[in-house]
């Protein structure tokens, strides 16, 4: 099932011989640009047109009535509701623990207070179509709630009946989502980024999606905030040494592949027998899998088994791939963790499959893909916060730093910058006293 790559005799950088990151071809980019511009200028009319074209459903109204969310919550199975509520508790507890708390910095009379403020309105995207993702609703909405975001807007592709699945609506109710719209794809991103007659513009957009959604999020960056992670098709690298059953490793390779096309599933080992037994187990599991077509589609284009010399080389491969999920199915995973630099999330040992992180561990499952883990991070409360600073000085502190400010400002040719400090020094020319008092009055009155 997996294409085998033998790196045991490779000298130098593995990146030269490993499969490169797939390019995002110009087709989706061109199509997405067209959708964004159409929605930007034609609003609901354009959204309606693309929903009919891509989702094969004609909708007059996109907004889901709030009572449908709570009706769905009452109708879903009791055990599912309990699981979603337990996931909510775990996710909220984790993100409250990681919440950035304002701190004050003081240096000899200069006081800087970190001001942390939530964004007002957050746009959330949850995939639909091939599968239902109530977990993505929780993962996107709850950190925003913990951050203090005032209003949460969720877009989900509608089904053939024009409705959103009950379990997704129930998750929205559990997470406290304020508005739900039956819109998917690039048109949903455009509607949230630019606003339409039905949907008020948001300040930030988060959530995983297909290539069209991911490209759209990149293209609207600047209009709204978009975390730098490329939350695209699912990825996993499984490093295995044979100390866990081959079925475990095989299943973990398949777990991410079952999301569908364009994903990546890698197995890395320094033992050829491990690769052979795991590969065989993958073939056997796929034959009876309910999502067989999706798994085969992913593995045929993005399934690799890499043979290396030792654990250090295995981690080198993982750092190049920079996967969304990295699983260390090894005897001593804690020995490898310090060598890991590029991964969305790391799962340590046979008892920590990525699925636990997907649903219940607490940390977010919206992770960087497409090798963006090299420069970006997992979704968290900080993605819904803005930071600024409140700076104040004593007279002694101003007198102390004034010569430095004046010197630099003068060198830059900014006379007003230099003078703004001069007139505030405790010893200054009397002719500036009136101007200084006037400035102080403006500051005191908040003008």
Positions annotated as catalytic residues are: 324-325
The secondary element (H helix, E strand) that includes residue 29 is helix 26-55
Contact indicator for 271, 369 with CB cutoff of 8 Å: no
| ∠ CA 247-251-253, rounded to 5° | 120
| ∠ CA 389-394-400, rounded to 5° | 100
Token pair 């230099």: residue: 418
Q: Using N-to-C axis directions, what is the helix angle for 395-411 and 415-422, rounded to 10°?
A: 160
Q: Where are the beta strands (DSSP E) in 325-414?
A: 325-329, 345-348, 385-393
CA dist., res. 95 & res. 84, Å (int): 16
CA dist., res. 362 & res. 113, Å (int): 30
Nearest Cα to Cα of residue 250 among 264, 265, 272? 265
Q: 112: which strand partners?
A: 105, 391
Contact indicator for 270, 309 with CB cutoff of 8 Å: yes
CA dist., res. 255 & res. 66, Å (int): 33
Q: 3: which strand partners?
A: 304
CA dist., res. 354 & res. 444, Å (int): 55
Cβ neighbours for 1, distance < 8 A, ≥ 6 positions apart = 279, 282, 283, 286, 299, 303
């Amino acid at each position: 099932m997996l294409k085998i790559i033998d790196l045991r005799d490779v000298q130098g950088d593995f990146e030269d011989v490993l499969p490169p990151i797939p390019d995002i071809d110009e087709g989706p980019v061109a199509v997405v640009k067209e959708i964004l511009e159409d929605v930007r200028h034609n609003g609901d009319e354009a959204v309606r047109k693309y929903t009919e074209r891509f989702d094969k459903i004609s909708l007059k109204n996109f907004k889901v009535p709030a009572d449908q969310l709570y009706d769905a919550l009452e109708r879903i199975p009791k055990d599912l509701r309990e699981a979603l509520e337990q996931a909510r508790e775990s996710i909220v507890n984790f993100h409250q623990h990681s919440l950035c708390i304002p701190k004050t910095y003081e240096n000899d009379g200069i006081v800087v207070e970190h001001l942390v403020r939530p964004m007002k309105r957050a746009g959330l995207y949850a995939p639909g179509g091939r599968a239902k993702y109530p977990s993505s609703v929780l993962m996107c909405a709850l950190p925003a709630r913990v951050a203090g975001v005032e209003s949460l807007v969720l877009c989900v592709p509608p089904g053939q009946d024009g409705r959103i699945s009950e379990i997704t609506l129930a998750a929205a109710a559990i997470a406290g989502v304020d508005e739900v719209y039956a819109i998917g794809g690039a048109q949903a991103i455009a509607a949230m980024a630019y606003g339409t007659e039905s949907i008020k513009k948001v300040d930030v957009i988060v959530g995983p999606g297909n290539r069209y959604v991911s490209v759209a999020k990149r293209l609207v960056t600047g209009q709204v905030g978009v975390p730098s992670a490329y939350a695209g098709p699912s990825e996993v690298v499984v490093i295995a040494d044979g100390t866990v059953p081959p079925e475990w490793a095989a299943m973990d390779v398949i777990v991410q592949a079952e999301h569908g096309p364009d994903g990546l599933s890698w197995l890395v080992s320094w033992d050829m027998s491990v690769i052979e037994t795991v590969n065989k187990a993958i073939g056997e599991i796929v034959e009876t899998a309910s999502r067989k077509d999706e798994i085969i589609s992913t593995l045929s284009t993005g399934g690799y088994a890499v043979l290396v010399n030792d654990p250090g080389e295995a981690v080198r491969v993982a750092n190049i791939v920079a996967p969304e999920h990295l699983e260390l199915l090894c005897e001593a995973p804690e020995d490898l963790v310090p060598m890991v630099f590029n991964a969305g999330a790391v799962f340590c040992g046979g008892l920590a499959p990525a699925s636990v992180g997907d649903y219940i561990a607490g940390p977010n499952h919206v992770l960087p893909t497409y090798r963006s883990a090299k420069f970006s991070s997992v979704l968290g409360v900080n993605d819904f916060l803005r930071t600024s600073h409140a700076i104040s000085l004593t007279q002694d502190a101003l007198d102390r730093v004034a010569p430095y400010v004046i010197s630099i400002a003068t060198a830059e040719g900014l006379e007003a910058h230099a003078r703004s400090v001069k007139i505030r020094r405790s010893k200054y020319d009397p002719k500036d006293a009136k101007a200084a008092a006037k400035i102080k009055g403006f500051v005191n009155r908040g003008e």
